[in-house]
Amino acid sequence: MNDKVSALLNEQVNKEFYSAYLYLDMANFYTGKGLDGFANWYEIQAKEEQDHAMLMYQYLHNNGEKVTLEAIAKPDKVFGTLMDPLAAGLEHERYVTSLINTIYEAAQEAKDFRTTQFLDWFIKEQGEEEKNSMDLITKMELFGNDPRSLYLLNNELAARTYSAPSLVL
């Protein structure tokens, strides 16, 4: 594999684990606020991020590349209002989209079409992740200021269930 592509994928393993840690901190925040549905939503989000990391980890190994596991940074966002994690989540997903795009570009430059095909799933996934983040913000804007509506929204988010990624390596 091209050295740059391999290094970027290796960095992304770390960044996906960081994403998991960031989302777990959001779940942590909502648990502290008594909003177990919001917490559930972000706990599942954290699991999905671990899946993303492991898919990249496995892909690198499948291609004979070494993986280096680095320290995972401390989640650095400070949350005050109930909207703060939602806004931070969207900002973070947009950042992750830019990271995936950068790896995709490097793979294209290296004519590494196996990796571009692997990353196609992530390109699509990022579209979903950004949409989910935007939808949550819209719902909070609409319903967040009314306690009864917030209660119902919390119940809706409590119903989210985890399912393993559809990508098979």
Residues that bind ligand FEO (CB under 6 A): 16, 19, 49, 52, 93, 96, 129
DSSP 146: S
State in angstroms the smallest separation of the CB of 152 from ligand FEO: 26
Cβ–Cβ < 8 Å for 112, 60: no
Spatial distance between the Cα atoms of 25 and 23, rounded to a whole number of angstroms = 5
DSSP 166: S
Residues 6+ positions from 147 with CB-CB distance below 8 Å: none
Of residues 16 and 112, the one with the C-beta less far from ligand FEO: 16
Residues 6+ positions from 70 with CB-CB distance below 8 Å: 14
State in angstroms the smallest separation of the CB of 30 from ligand FEO: 17
Of residues 99 and 158, the one with the C-beta less far from ligand FEO: 99
The residue of the chain with the least Cβ separation from ligand FEO equals 52
Of residues 16 and 150, the one with the C-beta less far from ligand FEO: 16
State in angstroms the smallest separation of the CB of 78 from ligand FEO: 20
